[in-house]
Amino acid sequence: AGGCDSEEEEGDFDLSVRFLELDFRDRASLAKALEGTKAVVHTAGPYLGEKPEILEAAIECGVPVYVDVSDPVDYIEQARALSDRACEKGTIALCSAGAFPGLSNVLAMECADRLGEPVKDVDFSYFTAGLGGSGDVNLLITNEGFGEPMLLFRNGHMTKEDTAGGEPRKINFFLTDEDQSRSLVGEQTVWNWPFPEAATVASELEIQGDSSIGMGTAPDLWNVILGVLVSLVPRSWWRNRDFSNGLAIFSKPMVALTDRFVGETHAMRIDMSGVGGRRVSAVQAHESFRRVVGQSCAEFTLSLMEDDKDGKPKISQRGVFTPEQLFRSERVRSPVLKRLLAVPGTLNYGFKEE
């Protein structure tokens, strides 16, 4: 299920792909559409304020594989509550399976493995330049996020903070001078935004210190404007969909104009420290935010659909998972991480251990 315009996009797909317009809240129509389906990929966001109805329908229809790119913690928790039912019906479901969250979660679990000691602190930093045609939905999602609380760990305990859009800081989105992201992205400003992995990954790793998470964009003028707006506009306004959507529609022409000058770039960085003082950092960069989200989602889906030489699923678990849960073990994580870091358009990736 997605939000593509079939007339505009259908020609880019294999002939076996068909488009079907329906209201996913119409249970009968949705159930009919899911008959005989091997996998459901749900990208019809935004997910904020929604219930996991498509996941529930996929489970009840016995669809073997379900994947989405959800990011609100409330939505993820409601989805996880369906895990027992998914097990009964033979469904494996993966939420938050995009680039961030998604690939970022898997990178964090790899960092934790390389750290080799209990995790103290973890920080997630993201950068995107150019929407790449993904449109005002992403602007709406960003705007609504400013009204949501940050779920973070402080001294090993989960807390809520109303700091979205605040606490700007500078992040280097490269590890070595040879990284392409050093020249294409370099050092960028990021500010707090309520992505779920600062809570879900930190919880899975049982960190003993703090978690933090931020994102930034280009040109840097947008970071300044957003910071001013967040300081002036009440958070209740950002939670109002009419306000956030109206602002998204208003700003879309200006964003489209600046996109023509800054182009498309995406980068992420995860920094993790252990209780014994060790540090591990990971960086991944890609030519396009829009493409890396789609590619990551596709690779996650294919990994869940793959069979071994005996015709049995390579990933045998059933239930509803987040990436850090499903790919915690090195045996399961290594193949999917290799695929995720090799998608076309990847500029560079790497790890640094201290």
pLDDT digits (tens, 9 = 90+) for 300-349: 999 999 988 888 889 999 999 999 999 999 999 999 999 999 999 999 99
Closest CA to 41 of 296, 318, 270: 296
**For the domain 6-98+292-345, what is the CATH code?**
3.40.50.720
Q: Where are the domains of the chain?
A: 6-98+292-345, 103-289
Q: What's the Cα-to-Cα distance from 269 to each of 57, 99, 107, 288, 340, rounded to whole Å?
A: 35, 12, 9, 16, 15
Whether 42 shows a pLDDT value over 90: the answer reads yes
What pLDDT, on the 0 to 100 scale, is given for residue 20?
A: 76
Q: Could you give the percent of the chain with pLDDT greater than 90?
A: 70
pLDDT of residue 218: 84
The b-or-e profile of 71-85 (16+ CB within 10 A means b, else e) is bbbbbbebbbebbee
Q: Do domains 6-98+292-345 and 103-289 have the same CATH topology?
A: no
> So what's the pLDDT on residue 7?
47
Residue among 140, 163, 174, 173 at smallest CA distance from 212: 163
pLDDT over 50 (residue 5): no
pTM of the full structure? 0.92
Running DSSP on this structure, what letter comes out for residue 301?
Answer: H
Task: Report residue 8's pLDDT band, with 50, 70 and 90 as the boundaries.
Answer: very low
Q: Which fold has domain 103-289?
A: Dihydrodipicolinate Reductase; domain 2 (3.30.360)
Under the banding of pLDDT at 50, 70 and 90, the label for residue 222 is confident
Q: How confident is the model at residue 266 (pLDDT cuts 50, 70, 90)?
A: very high
Q: Two tokens at 271? A: 């920094």
Q: What is the pLDDT of residue 10?
A: 47
Q: Would you say residue 223 has pLDDT above 90?
A: no
Residue 122 Cα distances to 79, 191, 271, angstroms: 25, 16, 6
| Alpha carbon distance 219, 58 (integer Å) | 41
Average pLDDT value for residue range 273-294? 95
> For residue 50, how many other CB atoms are within 10 A of its CB?
17
52 contact partners, CB below 8 Å, separation of at least 6: 70, 75, 78, 79, 82
**What tokens were used for 1?**
């299920």
Give yes or no for residue 255 having a pLDDT over 90: no
